[in-house]
Amino acid sequence: MFKIITFALSLLLILSFNMLGLAEITNDMIVAAWLFDGDAKDISGNGFDGEPQGGKYVDGQIGKAIELNGTNEWVSINKRMGSFEEITFVHWVKSTGREGQWRTFYNNAGWKGGDIHYQLHTNNKVEFSINGNPGGNDRFANFAVAGGEMNKWIHIATAYSAKEGKIRFYINGELDAELDWGNNPGVLDPGKIGSWDNQRHWQGLFDEFIIFNTALSEDDINSLMDNGLESGLAVDPKAKLATTWGSLKK
């Protein structure tokens, strides 16, 4: 009995240390999450379900992904998500065409003050825009989705903080660019994943497309990239330990 208890305590200690390295992401940080595992529902529970215009579900990086044809397919989000002083977009993408053309990740419909447009510019670089933000509407990553970066899965995360006056672009879990910018909040009104006003279409795939109401850290982003949203990051580690301890006792 003593050996069993000692083993159990040792295991709990190891689990505790491992969990210290996990991202501290909780459900209230998630604005919307479209995993595209056979549908375009928002699994956050906040009700921002997507309405696909065409597209098909294929094997993705984590489960299924949605594939859009680059001409007349997209996912509409028809409800306002809000105004954000801090925001992070995290997603997997594979661009299979339209190199050198506008390619939309998520753009509000239209282009009014405060609107967020998030896309690939015609220079092929990741671009994040807030209409009327001090210092100019746009900021760019160094990374370009062109050439050898076409037709391959890429993990992209973009974190903006009006509080800090910073924007950070992460590519495949590593900081690509950190820039001073803004101080205005950004607005997410109804818009589209994969298109803007029936143009700037995405040709390729999206997977694990998630929006957070905070500027995530590099560790958080790496955990999402490596494990996916449903890997337990939003579960209280204490609950995990209690479950493990209960199983051991049985």
- Same domain? For 94 and 210 the reply is yes
- Same domain? For 133 and 9 the reply is no
Domain residues for the domain of 238 are 1-22+233-250
Please tell me the chain's helix, strand, coil percentages from 3-state DSSP, rounded to the nearest 5.
Answer: 20, 40, 40
- Same domain? For 62 and 74 the reply is yes
- Same domain? For 190 and 245 the reply is no
Place of tokens 């954000």: 84
Helix (H, G, I), strand (E, B) or coil at 105: strand
Q: Which residues contact 61 (CB under 8 A, 6 or more apart)?
A: 92, 153, 155, 207, 208
Supply the CATH number for residue 168's domain.
2.60.120.200
Torsion region of 198: left, alpha or beta (phi above 0 gives left; psi -120 to 50 gives alpha):
left
- Same domain? For 172 and 208 the reply is yes
Q: Cα(128)–Cα(176) distance, rounded to whole angstroms?
A: 14
Q: Cα(30)–Cα(210) distance, rounded to whole angstroms?
A: 7
pLDDT, tens digit only, all 250 positions of the chain:
444 444 433 433 333 334 334 447 899 999 999 999 999 999 999 999 999 999 999 999 999 999 999 999 999 999 999 999 999 999 999 999 999 999 999 999 999 999 999 999 999 999 999 999 999 999 999 999 999 999 999 999 999 999 999 999 999 999 999 999 999 999 999 999 999 999 999 999 999 999 999 999 999 999 999 999 987 444 443 333 333 323 332 3
Q: Cα(130)–Cα(184) distance, rounded to whole angstroms?
A: 8
- Same domain? For 239 and 226 the reply is no
- Same domain? For 226 and 240 the reply is no
- Same domain? For 220 and 130 the reply is yes
Q: Specify the number of domains making up the chain.
A: 2
**Could you tell me the pTM of the whole model?**
0.85
- Same domain? For 85 and 134 the reply is yes
- Same domain? For 87 and 181 the reply is yes
- Same domain? For 148 and 214 the reply is yes
- Same domain? For 84 and 2 the reply is no
